[in-house]
Amino acid sequence: MPSSIKEMLAEANSAVPRVPPAEVRALTDRGNVLIVDVRYPSEVQASGKIKGAINVSRGMLEFRADPESPYYNPAFQKDKTVLVYCASGGRSALVGKTLKDFGYATVYNVGGFKELADAGLETEPA
């Protein structure tokens, strides 16, 4: 069991592949994809989000992703490819690992919002 954030991130990064923005486009073009922005709502309000993404802050992820939770969001389906991003890729790595632990089979860390937006992925207001 990890005993530091460095170890937690190493474990998460080994369990959840990180893909570059060009691959994000290819994955979304295939369909059956859920894009999850795990930044705080204030961050999303300030910058917008990737088009079609849902915002679920890291602290609420388990509640939204678990079908047994009263706070479950039905957008979370275990047969979907889940693409997770945050501001820089750290929180999204941790969330990706959590989703894998919850039984989501195909999960990718797609890094940070600015990196995705700068690469030309379409954005929209919060």
Q: Tell me the two tokens of residue 33.
A: 């994809």
CATH number for the domain formed by residue range(s) 5-124 = 3.40.250.10
State the DSSP code for 59: G
Residue corresponding to tokens 């990064």: 13
The per-residue pLDDT for range 15-25, each reduced to its tens digit, is 999 999 999 99
In the chain, the percentage of residues whose pLDDT exceeds 70 is 100
- Neighbouring residues of 78: CB distance < 8 A, sequence distance ≥ 6: 103, 104, 105
In the chain, the amino acid numbered 126 is A
The per-residue pLDDT for range 11-61, each reduced to its tens digit, is 999 999 999 999 999 999 999 999 999 999 999 999 999 999 999 999 999
Instruction: Say how far apart CA 120 and CA 7 lie, in whole Å.
Output: 32
Read off the pLDDT of each residue in 85-111 and give the average, rounded to a whole number. 97
Domain boundaries, the chain: 5-124
In the chain, the amino acid numbered 20 is P
Read off the pLDDT of each residue in 97-108 and give the average, rounded to a whole number. 97
pLDDT at residue 1, rounded to an integer: 77
Instruction: Say how far apart CA 62 and CA 13 lie, in whole Å.
Output: 19
pLDDT at residue 14, rounded to an integer: 95
